[in-house]
Amino acid sequence: EVSFLILKSYHASTTVAKDITLVTDIDVDPRDRDVLIVDDIFDTGKSFDFVDRHLKMQHPASVTGFALLAKPDRHEVVYRPNYIGFSVPDVWVEGYGMDSAEKGRGNPDIIVKHE
């Protein structure tokens, strides 16, 4: 079963906001279920940490995290995903669902965005 949770952290810019906003919560009850968090990128880790804490308050059986990309030099929280596809340097990337202020999301490749 799949459910989506939407957060807002960049607020139409390329700098991370101080506050994470929960825009849309999941529409299933995670109580006593194994939950897998899937995200595009583990940057500072604040979003993953927010989702992990939010879900654990709902008493799932377990919470596991996966990120396609991770930027180890940017991590600011203790939380780490259990699985990471690729580590990348501290560059702005877009494409394959990742965007820059809602642009570039549809690129089928992950590219480095040059200002």
User: DSSP assignment of 58-84, as one string?
Assistant: T--SEEEEEEEEE-GGG--SS---SEE
- Amino acid of residue 41: I
63 near 46, Cβ under 8 Å? no
**Residue keyed to tokens 């940057």:** 43
DSSP 3-state percent helix, strand, coil across the chain (nearest 5)? 10, 35, 55
Q: Which of 39, 43, 49, 99 is catalytic?
A: 43
Among this protein's residues, is 109 annotated catalytic? no
- Provide the annotated active-site residues: 43
